[in-house]
């Protein structure tokens, strides 16, 4: 097995497990749309850091976590409608394009590559230290999510009762969104900013359809995510022309689709 595949497996396993765990709560708490919002920030944050000449991961993690905490802090008061969200996040993408052009004009030669890596991930492009760091952050994220899993479950299922029992519901919500920010940044390194919602939502959505029991669901979500990651990486390793982010998403989507076979549900309208 070549070195790049080993790096991809090490980083990918930890990232997928973390995304599966975070995703389970994201779906449980109906925060898929917040994750979608974070993907725009992940894109523009990475490119802003590149344009400023620093490691893109600084902008990626910094931007995602800050905006996640901001969403958590502001989120309760009046949900903004689709038009406002769409307008703001389209503009954030526009800013990303600006940073991209600043970066490319400064580094003439490697034109589209940076853009592609941020948008669609570059899991086969990780070097040893990047892979180890991504894996360490992924494992840390898993531990953090499992650490707050019990109170978070309680607060997610019945917020009022949890608050009455003295649980710091609001702080838990904000802490969880910060973890979602970390998860979004991790997923961006694997499948890219445009596809991270899929890696967070598909395994979790499948797990929620398969079981209503929370602990089994959590484990199932992580297992489906890791399984999608492994089979996707394997497919792309064997068939070099198929990008890894596509194979990973294709497996995850297929698993989610299979859970829908018996009952059909509406696709449109949020």
Half-sphere exposure of residue 92, counting CA atoms within 13 Å on the CB side?
21
Q: Is 202 in the site for another protein (CB under 8 A)?
A: yes
Q: Is 235 in the site for another protein (CB under 8 A)?
A: no
Q: Is 222 in the site for another protein (CB under 8 A)?
A: no
Angle (CA) 235 115 63, round 5°: 105
SS (H, E, C) 169-232: HHHHHHHHHHHHHHHHHHHHHHHCCCCHHHHHHHHHHHHHHHCCCHHHHHHHHHHHHHHHHHHH
Give the Cβ contact number of residue 147 at 10 Å: 11
82-89, Cβ contacts within 8 angstroms, sequence gap of 24 or more: 82/270, 85/33, 85/37, 89/37, 89/40
Give the one residue of 204, 222, 226, 229 binding another protein; rule: CB under 8 A: 204
Q: Is 33 in the site for another protein (CB under 8 A)?
A: yes
Q: What's the closest the beta carbon of residue 131 comes to another protein, in angstroms? A: 22
Nearer to another protein, 101 or 168 (CB): 101
Q: Is 258 in the site for another protein (CB under 8 A)?
A: no
Expressed in percent and rounded to 5, the helix, strand and coil fractions of the chain are: 80, 0, 20
Nearer to another protein, 53 or 212 (CB): 212
- Alpha-carbon gap, residue 184 to 210, rounded angstroms: 24
Q: Is 160 in the site for another protein (CB under 8 A)?
A: no
Q: What's the closest the beta carbon of residue 166 comes to another protein, in angstroms? A: 26
Q: Is 52 in the site for another protein (CB under 8 A)?
A: no
Q: Is 56 in the site for another protein (CB under 8 A)?
A: no
Q: Is 182 in the site for another protein (CB under 8 A)?
A: no
Residues lying near another protein in the complex (CB under 8 A) are found at 27-30, 32-33, 35-36, 82-83, 86-88, 90-91, 93-95, 97-98, 100-102, 105, 111-113, 115-116, 119-120, 191-192, 194-202, 204-205, 208-209, 241-243, 245-246, 249-250, 252-253, 256, 260, 265-270
């Amino acid at each position: 097995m070549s070195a790049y595949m080993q790096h991809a497996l090490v980083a990918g396993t930890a990232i997928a497990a973390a995304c599966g765990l975070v995703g389970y709560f994201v779906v449980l708490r109906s925060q898929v749309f917040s994750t979608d919002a974070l993907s725009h920030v992940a894109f523009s944050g990475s490119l802003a850091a590149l344009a400023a000449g620093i490691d893109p991961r600084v902008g990626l993690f910094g931007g995602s976590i800050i905006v996640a905490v901001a969403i958590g802090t502001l989120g309760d008061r009046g949900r903004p409608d689709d038009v406002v969200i769409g307008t703001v996040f389209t503009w954030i993408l526009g800013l990303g394009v600006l940073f991209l052009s600043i970066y490319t004009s400064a580094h003439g030669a490697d034109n589209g590559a940076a853009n592609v890596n941020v948008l669609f991930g570059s899991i086969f492009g990780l070097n040893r230290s990047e892979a180890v760091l991504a894996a360490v952050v992924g494992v840390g994220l898993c531990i953090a999510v499992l650490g707050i899993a019990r109170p978070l479950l309680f607060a997610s299922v019945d917020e009022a009762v949890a608050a009455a029992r003295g649980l710091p519901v609001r702080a838990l919500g904000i802490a969880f969104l910060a973890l979602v920010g970390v998860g979004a940044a991790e997923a961006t390194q694997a499948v890219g900013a445009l596809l991270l919602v899929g890696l967070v939502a598909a395994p979790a959505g499948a797990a929620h359809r398969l079981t209503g029991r929370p602990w089994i669901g959590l484990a199932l979500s992580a297992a489906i995510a890791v399984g999608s990651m492994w089979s996707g990486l394997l497919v792309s390793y064997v068939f070099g022309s198929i990008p890894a982010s596509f194979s990973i998403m294709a497996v995850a989507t297929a698993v989610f689709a299979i859970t829908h076979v018996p009952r059909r549900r509406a696709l449109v309208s949020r």
